[in-house]
Chains A and B, each alone.
Chain A
Amino acid sequence: MNTYEKDQKNVALKLHYDIANDDFSRAGEASSKIKKMLKQLAIDANIVRRVAIATYEAEINLVIHSNGGNIEVFIKSDCIEIYVEDCGPGIENIDLAMTKGFSTATNVAREMGFGAGMGLPNMEKMSDAFIIESELGAGTNIKMIVRYET
């Protein structure tokens, strides 16, 4: 698994949330709903926590950096897959963006406590598999898998 592709097979439950850019007052609402749903499904607390952190970082990234996007969560029998897509502006240098401490966040984002350059590395840390693809002017796609047993 090296390229970004949605795996529609054996999806027990699908969640979809649209995320608007620059809407800091609502940032975190989608992740909160995702977390609540996973808890209701009696999924292991540690898995719920990892998914919550990954989706929250993704949601914050969409609010700070994107021109708007969405988060989809596929709940399967052996794992949870998280898909994050936006419609730009794209990341120029992914290696640099993945470096701890590197950030292009605005002052507004920094005032909210973000822009420490930990978002993408943290999302990778929470996932068992992490794929990021980006094209300047087009957008960024991220796939994360959190497995129940590792």
Chain B
Amino acid sequence: MQIKYVAGILNAEILAFEQGLEHDVVTAFGSDLMSDVLAYVEEDTLLITGLINQQVIRTAEMLDLKAILFVRGKIPCNEVIQLAEEKQIILMMTKESLFTASGILFQHGLRGIKI
């Protein structure tokens, strides 16, 4: 699913690296536990989280993730947005909850990763 499409159906605001919106994600993973993200997630996965600190960007960087969707209307500080720009990681924000955002994406055909 194209990241631009993800942003569209969730009315998401683009916070960083807008140039990457044409990229695709194959699966999605929702969690606020970065240790679990590191244990299970592979590249081409959309990370959906309510955590907005620097370690979220670092986690995505280590896993070569292209995009992070922040839920519950959370916006990270400028330093975090800057780091994402530098690492070419798309940041988006939706006002929906983790559950609702995941449900909408699932309904449109995006699936989770295999654990």
Contacts and interface: CB of A to CB of B under 8 A. Distances in A.
Interface residues of A, number: 26
Contacts of A52: 61-63
B64 A49 contact: yes
A140 interface: no
B58 A122 contact: no
Most buried by B among A25, A115, A116, A125: A116
Nearest to A45: B64
Contacts of B2: none
Interface of A, helix, strand, loop or mixed by DSSP? helix
Interface stretch (B11-19, B20-28, B33-41, B89-97): B33-41
Interface string B49-70: 1010111101101111000000
Given A114-B35, A118-B35, A25 B43 contact: no
B58 A31 contact: yes
A68 to B, nearest CB: 19
B62 A56 contact: yes
B58 A32 contact: yes
A57 interface: yes
Contacts of A121: 39
A116 B55 contact: no
Interface of A: 24-25, 27-28, 31-32, 35, 45, 49, 52-53, 56-57, 60, 111-119, 121-122, 125
Interface of B: 32-39, 43, 49, 51, 53-56, 58-59, 61-64
